[in-house]
């Protein structure tokens, strides 16, 4: 495990909860997700819940708030400063080609893209700002942001909880790819039931 991972696991509960809130909140608002993915903190929160440091529902709540509020900030930052920020970030934190791909993805998928983007690291960091840049109405973004943010927080914290004390082995053998596959399966099931609602919602003016 990385130094930061070990540090979070050994923090006093109140400070650990603060990290579980802050890291998801800072992912898209200040592009921290390119350096330290927020899902790691949320998974660690689940591990700490397994160790009875605090209830699992509290981890899910704190992580959900961080994810939703952070992406909302990212949306408004993108709306006001998006082009300027992406020009500076391009080539340093992310390839220009990827920024273009995310922009096209949001243009084609709209609110559904916001939900889906929550479960992929690069999309999760860029989608809120790109949604703001594309003038997506905030009401639509907010609905998708809440659905994606809460679903993401619940899934990752529960993953950490089920891993329990074997988290180190899970992180070593499964890695990020395993986590993404797990989330993709569950997210696909959820998106199937949400698809019709979101499709109709995205058509509203």
pTM of the model: 0.75
When pLDDT is averaged across residues 60-76 and rounded to a whole number, the result is: 93
Please state, in angstroms and rounded to a whole number, the distance separating the CA atoms of residues 89 and 199: 32
pLDDT at 63: 95
Range with lowest mean pLDDT among 55-69, 94-108, 157-171, 183-197: 183-197
Query: pLDDT band for position 190 (50/70/90)?
Result: low
Torsion sign over Cα 38, 178, 53, 10: negative
pLDDT in tens, 75-121: 998 888 766 666 665 555 566 666 777 778 787 877 888 888 888 77
Please state, in angstroms and rounded to a whole number, the distance separating the CA atoms of residues 69 and 164: 28
pLDDT at 50: 92
pLDDT at 48: 92
Please state, in angstroms and rounded to a whole number, the distance separating the CA atoms of residues 40 and 192: 26
Is the CB of residue 155 less than 8 Å from the CB of residue 69? no
When pLDDT is averaged across residues 6-13 and rounded to a whole number, the result is: 83
When pLDDT is averaged across residues 22-44 and rounded to a whole number, the result is: 81
Q: Is the pLDDT of residue 185 over 50?
A: no
Average pLDDT, rounded, for the chain: 77
pLDDT in tens, 15-31: 999 999 998 988 877 76
Q: How far is CA 71 from CA 46, 76, 105, 200, in A?
A: 21, 9, 17, 23
> To the nearest whole percent, how much of the chain has pLDDT over 70?
67
Q: How far is CA 180 from CA 36, 117, 118, in A?
A: 16, 12, 11
Instruction: Work out the widest C-alpha separation in the chain, in whole angstroms.
Output: 49
When pLDDT is averaged across residues 189-196 and rounded to a whole number, the result is: 54
Range with lowest mean pLDDT among 41-45, 54-58, 76-80: 76-80
Please state, in angstroms and rounded to a whole number, the distance separating the CA atoms of residues 157 and 146: 16
When pLDDT is averaged across residues 43-71 and rounded to a whole number, the result is: 93
Give the per-residue SS3 of 1-57: CCHHHHHHHCCCHHHHHHHHHHHHHHHHHCCHHHCCCHHHHHHHHHHHHHCCCCCHH
């Amino acid at each position: 495990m990385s130094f930061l991972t070990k540090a979070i696991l050994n923090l006093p509960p109140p400070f650990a909860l603060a990290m579980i809130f802050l890291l998801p909140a800072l992912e898209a608002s200040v592009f921290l997700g390119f350096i330290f993915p927020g899902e790691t903190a949320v998974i660690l929160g689940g591990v700490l819940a397994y160790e009875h440091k605090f209830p699992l529902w509290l981890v899910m709540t704190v992580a959900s708030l961080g994810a939703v509020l952070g992406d909302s900030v990212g949306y408004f930052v993108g709306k006001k400063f998006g082009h300027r920020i992406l020009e500076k970030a391009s080539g340093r934190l992310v390839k220009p080609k990827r920024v273009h791909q995310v922009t096209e993805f949001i243009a084609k998928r709209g609110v559904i893209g916001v939900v889906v983007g929550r479960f992929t690291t690069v999309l999760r960091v860029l989608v809120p700002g790109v949604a703001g840049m594309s003038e997506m109405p905030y009401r639509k973004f907010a609905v998708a942001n809440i659905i994606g943010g809460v679903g993401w927080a619940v899934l990752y914290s529960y993953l950490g909880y089920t891993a329990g004390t074997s988290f180190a082995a899970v992180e070593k053998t499964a890695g990020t790819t395993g986590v993404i596959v797990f989330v993709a399966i569950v997210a696909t099931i959820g998106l199937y039931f949400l698809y019709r609602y979101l499709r109709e919602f995205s058509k509203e003016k």
